[in-house]
Amino acid sequence: MNVHLNSLMEKEVSRKEFLGMLGLAVASIFGFGTLIKLLTGRSLESKSTLTSYGGSVYGGGSEAR
């Protein structure tokens, strides 16, 4: 493993290749789904109101009364 890491660190890359690898690493860390949701502007909390406690008729919402 150490030999593989050393060979990667000694490899010369252009700025474009480096930024591409950096972008792929960031996308892998945060997940591609989350990145796409952030880029498209969709709310990440829209589902949480529907599935939260009291968010449906069975949870005691105003529709049950």
Q: What is the pLDDT of residues 1-58, one digit of tens each?
A: 788 888 878 889 999 999 999 998 888 887 877 877 888 876 655 555 555 666 666 6
Q: Take residue 63 and report the two structure tokens written for it.
A: 């529709």
pLDDT value at residue 14 = 94
Q: How many domains does the chain have?
A: 1
R_g (Cα) of the chain, nearest Å: 22
Letter for the amino acid at 54? G
Q: Which range of residues forms the domain containing residue 15?
A: 2-64
Cβ distance 18 to 26 under 8 Å?
Answer: no
Q: Take residue 34 and report the two structure tokens written for it.
A: 């989350």
- List C-alpha distances in Å: 37 to 28, 42, 45, 51: 14, 5, 11, 19
pTM: 0.41
Which residue did the predictor score with more confidence, 64 or 40?
A: 40
What own/partner pairs with CB < 8 Å and gap ≥ 24 does 47-52 have?
none
pLDDT value at residue 43 = 60
pLDDT value at residue 34 = 81
